[in-house]
Amino acid sequence: MKGVSSAPGDYVYFKSKVPLHKISIGSKQWRYYDFGPKAVPPLICLPGIAGTADVYYKQILSLSMKGYRVISVDIPRICNHLEWIQLFEKFLDSINVYHVHLYGTSLGGFLAQIFAQHRPRRVKSLVLSNSFLDTHKFAAAMPWSPIVSWTPSFLLKRYILTGIRDGPHEPFIADSVDFVVGQVETLSREDLSSRLMLTVSAASVGPLLLSDSFITIMDTNDYCAIPQQLKDQVTERYPGARRAILRSGGDFPFLSRPDEVNLYLQLHLRRVGVDAKPDEVPGISRDGSAGGSEYEKKFDEHPDDTPQGEGGSGAHDDDHLPQSFGSETHKTDGQVSGSAGISFAHLLYTLLLLQSFAEAMYFTSKTMVFLSSLFLFAESNSVTGDSSLGSKLENSYKAKRLIAGPNGLI
């Protein structure tokens, strides 16, 4: 594993633009970021055992620019799941939020499900990434859990970090590991022990009142600290959930594959009826300095007509919901005229077809983005008459990311 490097440039930019909030509820302190239009029902990001509120900074930057409100929280020092349910509800009340959409990874996904089970009226949708349904397997692997609260900090950190695969990684995955290791170093012994207790304390997710159509399961296909058997149990529990498969990304795809993750989050929010308000975004320009790929910008510059509002007690009109990510319908204000440019409607239509093929053929999101990039360059080549398609692909940052590396497409 590489040593912890200096903070990435986009993280430095994030810290300069997005304030960290701290509030106390009883004896517990909550650290969180809250950015984006306040009128939009928020997406609340819950980290895993090794994460902090900072690990979702790429989602905050990207989605807030598109007009969504994103809240990323630290898991406070809570040692049992009942206390989590009660305190998280009080936290939502304290920031004047009632209906929420929860995005949880690993332990965060488990806590999101527990909250949705016991407070069904407040949770409107779920995005679960590399998550699980019960804690039995973790408890069996940690027989020393009764003394975890007395264990020295350095031993707790070592135990947590051993779950992260050491060895050669793709560059973006290695960078994500370095960033998370740096965040683990900021956690106290009390923070670490409480998260371990939440992971090993006996608990399981019961039936949810939330329809499977309002759940997205976003898993990585490469190595992950959560055993594949546990991830498969989540898929079996929610057979009607949308699937978003990332070919690679490791334990932290929100850092290593932010473009794909942000795109799937945006599709999920649109599908469940969250109305973005890009004109009300505070403080961050849309010139690309805050992050976000060129592909995301092209996708976002043409908003679609999605179901409006959040609904009252949780009922949504299923007639307005797409059957899959690939079947979403989009309306554009117009096309780029004739030889002056590329028809965005044509591109978007082809992209949606590719997404449909991805679900039918089990293509990965990376494959879909790569094919759409090829289409974009091919279309540009046919309009301009330029034969240098190969050089365009070589100069494309997206193409370089998809082609290079041991796990690349070619």
Tally Cβ neighbours within 10 Å of residue 9: 10
pTM of the complete model:
0.70
Q: Provide mean pLDDT across the span 49-54.
A: 95
pLDDT of residue 284: 59
Specify the range with the lowest mean pLDDT, choosing from 83-87, 130-134, 356-360: 356-360
List the one residue out of 246, 247, 251 whose CA is nearest residue 225. 251
CB–CB of 286/296 below 8 Å? no
pLDDT category, 161, cuts 50, 70, 90?
confident
352 vs 88, 326, 361, CA distance in Å?
37, 5, 14
In tens, the pLDDT along 305-345 reads: 433 333 333 333 333 333 334 333 333 333 333 333 344 44
Q: At what angle do helices 258-271 and 57-65 cross, to 10 degrees?
A: 50
Residue 195 has pLDDT above 80, yes or no: yes
User: Between the CA of residue 98 and those of 21, 32, 48, 89, 338, what are the distances in Å?
Assistant: 19, 17, 23, 9, 48
What is the per-residue pLDDT for 351?
Answer: 47
Is residue 25 a contact partner of residue 87, using CB atoms and an 8 Å limit?
Answer: yes
* pLDDT exceeds cutoff 70 at 403: no
pLDDT greater at residue 281 or residue 155: 155
Q: Has residue 82 got a pLDDT over 60? A: yes
221-228 average pLDDT score: 88
- Secondary structure in 3-state letters for the chain: CCCCCCCCHHHHHHHHHCCEEEEEECCEEEEEEEECCCCCCCEEEECCCCCCHHHHHHHHHHHHHCCCCEEEECCCCCCCHHHHHHHHHHHHHHCCCCCEEEEEECHHHHHHHHHHHHCCCCEEEEEEECCCCECHHHHHCCCCHHHHHHCCHHHHHHHHHCCCCCCCCCHHHHHHHHHHHHHHCCCCHHHHHHHHHHHHCCCECCCCCCCHHHEEEEEECCCCCCCHHHHHHHHHHCCCCEEEEECCCCCCHHHHCHHHHHHHHHHHHHHCCCCCCHHHCCCCCCCCCCCCCHHHHHHHCCCCCCCCCCCCCCCCCHHHCCCCHHHCCCCCCCCCCHHHCCCHHHHHHHHHHHHHHHHHHCCCHHHHHHHHHHHHHHHHHHHHCCCCHHHHHHHCHHHHHHHCCCCCCC
Q: Report whether pLDDT(179) > 90.
A: yes
Give me the pLDDT at residue 285, please: 52
pLDDT value of position 329: 34
Average per-residue pLDDT for the chain: 76
Residue 346 pLDDT > 80, yes or no?
A: no
Q: How far apart are CA 109 and CA 48, in angstroms?
A: 8
pLDDT classification of 283: cutoffs 50, 70, 90: low
Neighbours of 214 (CB within 10 A): 25
- pLDDT, residue 281, reads 77
What the chain holds in terms of domains, given with CATH numbers, is 21-274 (3.40.50.1820)
Let me know: does 103 contact 45? Beta carbons within 8 Å: yes
What pLDDT is recorded for position 145? Answer: 83
* pLDDT surpasses 70 at 142: yes
